[in-house]
Structure 1
């Protein structure tokens, strides 16, 4: 709930500021956010070098596990058309929450909703923070994430508009579900599995950064199943080793 409130407050401040900024300034804000997202992605992807993971699956396996996770997860996500479904959700929300908007406004709303949802819900703090909260280990990681999301939502809303505020629904559903999973399952993910998930999440954030920098429209939502495939591959490789 703290994270959801931070997103709403940040989006509101970004909307107030965004109308006073020229388009070139909004583009620059988006570029800056893309660069920072790329930095966070690189720091997360470094988990592929975590000694705990290497000792568990072997020194040559971590990169192959990440590769296999992205390939298998991407195939599954593409067959399930996750990217299209996420965009469709954004379109429905835009139709329900706004009237008289043109196609440009609709595209801007959807882009803001999709991009913000992916940034807020695919990072390692989302998974680790929510699980730790559910396990009763405290919510410090989620509080840190909330502070980061506050500033990120300000930048997103200034660039994309109030579609960013709608992403709070995704935050509540995804992080709330992960917290409930943590409460129900307990501490079932060992450190090697978490390291693999963090590394895969970092590469997903690279895809988000490429979208923000307008380099390539990577279908990041289609790659989300890779976060589930990664721990399964870690267990498989460790068993076969």
Structure 2
């Protein structure tokens, strides 16, 4: 768990630095920086989405995830969580939820999070997560300086997500093979593109309601590979 703990601490540290810098930045600068971050997030999502090779698995995962998200009103519940957090720390609840969802997904989805957690659990080698921690910590500074304190709370799902994979590393190693990780990364990349659209105010996409797609893509990709469902 060493790598995951360091990763969570790095996000918290970066967020605290970003929040302290936010006070001295004008709104015009924040808006311009946020647009730049939006473009960068769009690029990250596009690169990740190209990792996948099984389009049908990704489409089905997004469809099933969207249905579950709408049924369980995940987006609404995340907004309520943001409002609850806001009552504790002050500010705008919507902004807290937006920052929380945006950075949580960016930090959790991707090969480094999965592979690093597995390596940490099986080989006690946290090097990959250490490298990820540096990237996440630096990006948290910029995210928090424009989006606020919600970024800090993304350290919690990162800790739970990567920590769970680390603790179950010997079990999930066979399931989360490179092929499955690629489909997971691609699906997450498409969700991150949706986040970029929201940041750039191109189109409001309910990313929260699409989050269950991450859960569906793992078994679908695994069985697609195992039974040569190409």
TM-score range, shorter chain: 0.7 to 0.9
| 2:164 aligns with one of 133, 153, 177 | 177
Q: For each residue in 1:145-194, what CA deviation from the matched residue of structure 2 results, as whole angstroms up to 9, or x when unmatched?
A: 21121122111111122222222222222222222232554433332222
- Matched with 2:58 is 66
The answer as to 2:106 corresponding to 1:119 is yes
Partner SS state of residue 51, structure 2: helix
2:128, 2:19 → 1: CA distance?
27
User: Would the aligned equivalents of 1:45 and 1:200 in 2 still touch at CA under 8 Å?
Assistant: yes
Q: Are 2:70 and 1:78 equivalent residues in the alignment?
A: yes
- Higher mean displacement: 149-158 or 112-121: 112-121
1:43 corresponding residue in structure 2: 47
**C-alpha separation between the residues in 1 aligned to 2:96 and 2:139?**
16
For residue 189 of structure 1, give the secondary structure of its aligned residue in structure 2. Answer: coil
Task: Give 3-state SS (helix, strand or coil) of 2:209's partner.
Answer: helix
Matched, 1:4 2:8: yes
Indicate how the Cα distance of structure 1 residues 165 and 240 shifts in structure 2: closer, same or farther if over 3 A, else same: closer
CA contact (8 A) 2:105 2:188 kept: no
The residue that corresponds to 2:80 in the other structure is 88
User: Which whole-Å CA distance do the structure 1 matches of 2:196 and 2:108 have between them?
Assistant: 14
**Mean Cα displacement is larger for which, 211-220 or 2-11?**
211-220
Equivalent-residue separation in structure 1 for 2:13 and 2:136 (angstroms): 10
1:173-228 CA-to-partner distances (Å, cap 9, x unmatched) read 22222222325544333322222112111111111211221222222222222222
1:160 aligned to which of 123, 142, 147: 147
Aligned counterparts, 1:203-214, within 5 A: 203-214=190-201
**Runs (5+) with no aligned partner, structure 1:** 50-61
Distance 1:125 1:224 in 2: 19
What is the TM-score when the length of structure 2 is the normalising length?
0.86
Distance 1:118 1:173, change over 3 A: same
Give RMSD over aligned pairs.
2.2
Structure 1 residue 26 and structure 2 residue 30: aligned?
Answer: yes
Deviates further, 158-167 or 183-192:
183-192
Give the deviation of 1:139 after TM superposition: 2.2
Q: How many angstroms does 1:135 deviate by?
A: 2.9
Aligned pair in 2 of structure 1 residues 112, 193: CA closer, same or farther (>3 Å)?
closer
The whole-number CA distance in structure 2 between the counterparts of 1:235 and 1:4 is 29
- The structure with more radius of gyration: 1
- For residues 142 and 209 of structure 2, the distance between their equivalents in structure 1, rounded to whole angstroms, comes to 25
